[in-house]
Amino acid sequence: MRIILGPLIALGLCAASAAANAASASSPAAPIPDFAGIWWHPSLPGPEPLASGPTTVTNRSRRNGTSDYGQLVGDYTNPILKPEAAAIVKKFGDMSLAGTVYPNPANQCWPEPVPFIYKNFGLQLLQKPDEIIMLYEQDHEFRHVRMNQPHPAKLKPSWYGDSVGHYEGDTLVIDTIGTKADQPFPMLDLYGTPYTKALHVVERYRLIDYEDAKDGLERNRKENFTAGPGLDPNYRGKYLQLTYTVEDEGVFTTPWSATITFGRGSDIWPETVCAENVHVYYDKDERVPTAAKPDF
Amino acid sequence: MRLALATIAALALCALAPAPAAPAAAPPDLSGFFSRIGDLWFDAIEGDTDGKPVDRLNVDSPDAEDIWAGDSANPILQPWARDIVKRNAESEMRLQHVYTADDSCWPSGVPQAVNLLDVVQFIPTKDRVTILYQRNHQVRRIWLNVPHSRNPKPSWYGESVGHYDGDTLVVDTIGLKAHKMSVVDAFGTPHTEKLHVVERYRPYATPFGKRLEVIVRVEDSGAFIGPWKGMAEYQQEKTVKQFEETVCAENNRDFGEGTTFGTIPQENAPQF
């Protein structure tokens, strides 16, 4: 017995070494989903209302059965809204009905808080072990998400808030608090739904098959105006599903959720510069008040 | 003896087994956060045969520190570009600040982005390097190991392709939009859509920590009589753990604080 131990030990060491090399060359123990590449959703205002349960404010103004992006009248009767918040949403809706395009972070070139920022059609996630960078298509907006860390005890409010993340199996979970509320356009959607410093958003991203994506795509088709140029409608590969939950006791009667389903399409990442005002709505620029001459 | 031979044979077999592929030459380590150090314009490179960047004029004035006037006598400038640099300098001398893209919430373009204040982050991934600038959250994408497209649509950051040259990230940019706010330096030196910029980022160690040498080579036969080269430097910020927000629309950058240029014309009432 003893005489065969030498070569066996040598081969065993060899095999162990090869296995170790293979292990170190492959992914770590818990597989991390790969979200690389450009993701697109096609729609405005964007979120997919849930089929049931507390969910996002939607547009009372319809065009061909879906949200009329040219007339944003948020449904102020949505039971998620506290009375004061409902009054604000109604005020903006009345402005829209009167033909006024009210200012929001996007059309005024300000940073867009979470979840307003989902208005962007394009999304890229750069995954690093210690952080994730989320790049959005318009006006060079990006967010940093610190991985596997708690929120600081003392938080200075900021435009995108403090985002920390971790993986739960195949799902990236991002928790955001500390979003600056004392700003000119404190809105978390295009209907002007307000928020306070108590805003808390949890985002959950995971890859799903087309069959599983159909539900969200269908809810999107029923609700939203499709405008985005990026998504290939015939795409049948993996989709990226975002499910997010919003809490803000200053504004909402209850936590609510919605989804956005991202797919693949264009590889071109356009440069959209807000200062340049290249945004076109219904084939014309918004009629922004313009002074003919300076008065200074 | 047989035992020894068998053991040796087994080890030999092990040695012959395919080893994991050796990684290719490691790309330069650009990790961490960096900040621009030195003057916020390009330094000339001693002994280089290309032209020199526009330098800052020495001004004899109590306000000299706030006057950013470029030397329009630089022979690299085409006449029309010289006129603009001269006009800007004269305006600065009159204490009328020439507003730049950075002052006015426009993208800074290439190579002027290299002169931006605040933190910069390089994020290498398989097919690209993404550069994030804290200042007004600007983003550049450098696509690795691919050629330029045939006719890139002009844009503020142009089309950037890159590769690693040993310890250096080389970035080649064309397709840069010519706009009155799109300039190549702090003195408002203009460019045309012929602008072609090659940046070379090389990290190196110093007693003060990691630094990043940036050499830019600029060609634009529309604005310059020949290519010119300039140098800049970044310092790694070891204490910085994440970006802060520097939002141009918020004007939270202390622009004008304590300077003679702090008074931005404002309308008291809208005209409409």
Domain spans in chain A, listed from the N-terminal domain onward: 39-285
Q: Which helix (H) or strand (E) holds B169?
A: strand B168-174
Is the CB of A129 inside 8 Å of chain B's CB atoms?
Answer: no
Cα(B245)–Cα(A117) distance, integer angstroms: 16
Of B7, B249, B272, the CB nearest to A109: B249
The residues pairing with A122 across neighbouring beta strands, listed in sequence order, are: A40
Q: From residue B116, give the alpha-carbon distance in Å to each of B103, B133, B135, B185.
A: 11, 8, 7, 10
Angle at A74 between CA A158 and CA A203, to 5 degrees: 45
ipTM score of the complex? 0.75
CA distance A171 to chain B (A): 21
Of B11, B139, B267, the CB nearest to A140: B139
Residues of A in contact with B20 (CB under 8 A): 21-22, 24-25
- Residue type, position B49, single letter: T
**Interface contact flag, B125 A142, Cβ < 8 Å:** no
Residues of A in contact with B14 (CB under 8 A): 10-11, 13-14, 17
Residues of B in contact with A163 (CB under 8 A): none
Interface mutation target, options A126, A134, A145, A274, chain B, most CBs of B under 10 Å: A126
Angle at B168 between CA B213 and CA B192, to 5 degrees: 70
**Interface contact flag, A11 B14, Cβ < 8 Å:** yes
| Tokens 């803000």 -> residue | A248
Backbone angles phi, psi at A152, to 5 degrees: -65, 150
Cα(A27)–Cα(A31) distance, integer angstroms: 6
Q: What is the pLDDT of residue B140?
A: 95
Cβ atoms within 10 Å, residue A180: 20
CA distance A130 to chain B (A): 11
Residues of A in contact with B123 (CB under 8 A): 126, 128, 133
Cβ atoms within 10 Å, residue A260: 23
pTM of the model: 0.80
Cα(A64)–Cα(A42) distance, integer angstroms: 17
CA-based nearest residue in chain B for residue A184: B250
Cα(B155)–Cα(A268) distance, integer angstroms: 13
Q: What is the pLDDT of residue A81?
A: 98
Q: What is the pLDDT of residue B103?
A: 77
Q: Are A226 and A46 in contact (CB under 8 A)?
A: no
Q: Where are the alpha helices (DSSP H) in chain A?
A: 2-25, 83-97, 210-223
Is the CB of A1 inside 8 Å of chain B's CB atoms?
Answer: no
Would you say how long chain A is, in residues?
296
**Interface contact flag, B156 A158, Cβ < 8 Å:** no
- Residue type, position B151, single letter: N
Cα(A212)–Cα(B131) distance, integer angstroms: 35
Cα(B187)–Cα(B100) distance, integer angstroms: 9
| A 255-284 residues with CB < 8 A to B | 269, 271, 273, 275-276
pLDDT in tens, chain A (296 residues): 333 444 444 444 444 444 444 444 444 556 899 999 999 998 888 799 999 999 999 999 999 999 998 899 999 999 999 999 999 999 999 999 998 888 888 888 889 999 999 999 999 999 999 999 999 988 889 999 999 999 999 999 999 999 999 999 999 999 999 999 998 889 999 999 999 999 999 999 999 999 999 999 999 999 998 877 788 989 999 999 999 999 999 999 999 999 999 999 988 888 888 877 644 443 444 445 556 676 65
Q: Are B159 and B149 in contact (CB under 8 A)?
A: yes
Cβ atoms within 10 Å, residue A265: 20
Of A6, A14, A275, the CB nearest to B105: A275
Interface mutation target, options B2, B5, B7, chain A, most CBs of A under 10 Å: B7
CA distance A248 to chain B (A): 23
Of B107, B243, B249, the CB nearest to A140: B107
Find the chain B residues whose C-beta atoms sit closer than 8 A to any C-beta of A: 2-4, 6-7, 9-11, 13-14, 17, 19-20, 104-107, 123, 125-126, 130, 132, 136-139, 141, 155-157, 242-245, 247, 249-250, 265-268, 270-272
Backbone angles phi, psi at B76, to 5 degrees: -75, -20
**Interface contact flag, A21 B20, Cβ < 8 Å:** yes
Q: What is the pLDDT of residue B37?
A: 95
**Interface contact flag, A140 B11, Cβ < 8 Å:** no
Interface mutation target, options B103, B110, B243, B264, chain A, most CBs of A under 10 Å: B243
Of A3, A8, A289, the CB nearest to B272: A289
Interface mutation target, options B139, B146, B246, chain A, most CBs of A under 10 Å: B139
- Which regions in chain B score pLDDT beneath 70? 1-24, 251-272
**Interface contact flag, B132 A142, Cβ < 8 Å:** yes
Cβ atoms within 10 Å, residue B35: 17
Q: What is the pLDDT of residue B155?
A: 93
| A 160-179 residues with CB < 8 A to B | 160
CA distance B247 to chain A (A): 8
CA distance B39 to chain A (A): 26
